[in-house]
């Protein structure tokens, strides 16, 4: 691809209105924000120097990534910290021409780290209002269970979500390690969350095999799958996801940085698309991984040699898979269509 073609591709991706469906609040903290927090909270052990932080954000494997992620999360202690994270994310999203994002928040971990629940909720509310007013970005929340903390975390996360039910809360999730953390143990909490009208969006198949994805579907009523990379190893699962139009929130750079895949060329996203799975592209924890939403689109488009209409389809997938009202979806889809017909 020539430099000119690449610049055109970049401009096309930038112009696409996008929805980000898989991004964690703590993992969206910009480098400057992390450095500022680290200076205020030295006990967390997060580097205060830019180069050291870059080394700190070089992950040996997935469990090392989680250790680092938890250290960053432990520095978030009051409503101002939360507001700073939310507005920082909104600014970054606006820069990517992302109009809407579903942001994963892990209340149980924040409460354990000494961030009071009302401070968390206040920071989310003021941050969300500022995101809309100042950046034109609509944010929705997914409250997720930190799986490694077991059923107690499941129960507490459910109670917090249903008791507080903040504006913008649309879904219920499950994150953390997968190996040794069976999805099925969280079935009662997902059932109750779904009965209360929250959508089910667990992580599954990021660091374990297709059986975890099947369990997320059967036991947790998953409406979308977080990561889902290992579905590529199971043809029956690929067919099931395609047939039932269950979207997969693919986060390619995340999988590279946590060393779950070796290269973009060998990433299962190709196989998912070949089997007709509804793929959405997402960043997961963007500054920690050096990822941007446009970068994910560019990387996949270049690696797979996608045409503009195929790239636009990925943006359409995210809008269609979003928990947005029908009118908002059709407005965004119309904007995408206009770009493809004029582009």
In whole angstroms, what is the distance from residue 33 CA to residue 55 CA? 17
Residue with the shortest CB distance to ligand HPA: 175
> What is the CA angle 199-202-206, rounded to 5?
150
- Which among ligand HPA, Zn ion, none contacts residue 285 (Cβ within 5 to 8 A by kind)? ligand HPA
Assess 285 for contact with ligand HPA (CB under 6 A). Answer: yes
Interface residue with ligand HPA, options 254, 260, 278, 283 (CB under 6 A): 254
Nearest residue to Zn ion on Cβ basis: 284
- Angstrom distances, CA of residue 281 to CA of 15, 203, 249: 16, 15, 6
Q: Are 18 and 99 in contact (CB under 8 A)?
A: yes
Is 28 a residue that touches ligand HPA (CB under 6 A)?
no
Q: Residue 206 catalytic?
A: yes
Fill in the per-residue mask, 278 to 297: x = in contact with Zn ion (CB under 5 A), - = not in contact.
------x-------------
Q: Is 206 in the site for ligand HPA (CB under 6 A)?
A: yes
Residue 205 contacts ligand HPA per CB under 6 A: no
d(CA 258, CA 71): 16
Sole binder of ligand HPA in the list 175, 252, 286, 295 (CB under 6 A): 175
Q: Could you tell me the smallest distance in angstroms from the CB atom of residue 175 to ligand HPA?
A: 3
The minimum distance between CB 106 and ligand HPA, in angstroms, equals: 7
Q: Report CA 12 to chain centroid distance, whole Å.
A: 23
262: helix, strand or coil: coil
Residue 55 class from Cβ within 10 Å (0-12 exposed, 13-18 middle, 19+ buried)? Answer: exposed
Structure tokens at 85: 């994270």
Q: Which of residues 96-155 bind ligand HPA (CB under 6 A)?
A: none
Q: Which of residues 58-87 bind ligand HPA (CB under 6 A)?
A: 69
Nearer to ligand HPA, 300 or 332 (CB): 300
Active-site residue (options: 20, 206, 249, 296): 206
The answer to the question of residue 249 lying near Zn ion (CB under 5 A) is no
Residues that bind Zn ion (CB under 5 A): 284
Q: Which residues are catalytic?
A: 206
Residues that bind ligand HPA (CB under 6 A): 24, 27, 69, 175-176, 203, 206, 254, 284-285
């Amino acid at each position: 691809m020539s430099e000119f073609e690449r610049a055109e591709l970049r401009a096309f991706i930038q112009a696409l209105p996008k929805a980000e469906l898989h991004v964690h609040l703590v993992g969206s903290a910009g480098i400057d924000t992390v450095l500022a927090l680290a200076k205020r909270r030295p006990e967390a052990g997060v580097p205060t120097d830019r180069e050291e932080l870059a080394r700190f954000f070089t992950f040996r494997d997935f469990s090392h990534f989680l250790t680092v992620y938890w250290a960053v999360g432990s520095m978030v202690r009051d409503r101002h910290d939360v507001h700073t994270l939310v507005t920082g994310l909104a600014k970054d999203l606006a820069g990517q021409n992302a109009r809407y994002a579903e942001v994963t928040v892990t209340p149980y971990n924040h409460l354990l780290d000494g961030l009071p629940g009302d401070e968390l909720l206040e920071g989310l509310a003021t941050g969300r209002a500022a995101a809309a007013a100042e950046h034109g970005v609509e944010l929705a929340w997914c409250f997720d269970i930190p799986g490694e903390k077991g059923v107690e975390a499941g129960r507490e996360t459910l109670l917090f979500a249903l008791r507080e039910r903040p504006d913008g809360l649309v879904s219920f999730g499950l994150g953390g390690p997968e190996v040794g953390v069976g999805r099925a143990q969280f079935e009662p909490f997902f059932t109750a969350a779904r009965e209360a009208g929250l959508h089910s969006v667990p992580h599954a198949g990021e660091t374990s095999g297709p059986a975890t994805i099947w369990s997320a579907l059967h036991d947790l009523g998953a409406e979308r799958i977080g990561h889902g990379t290992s579905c590529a190893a199971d043809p029956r699962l690929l067919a099931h996801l395609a047939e039932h139009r269950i979207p997969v929130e693919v986060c390619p750079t995340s999988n590279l940085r946590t060393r779950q895949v070796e290269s973009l060329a060998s990433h299962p996203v190709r196989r998912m698309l070949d089997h007709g799975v509804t793929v959405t592209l997402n960043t997961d924890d963007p500054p920690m991984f050096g990822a941007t939403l446009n970068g994910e689109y560019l990387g996949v488009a270049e690696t797979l040699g996608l045409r503009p209409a195929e790239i636009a389809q990925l943006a359409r997938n995210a809008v269609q898979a979003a928990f947005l009202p029908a009118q908002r979806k059709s407005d965004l889809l119309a904007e995408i269509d206009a770009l493809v017909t004029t582009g």
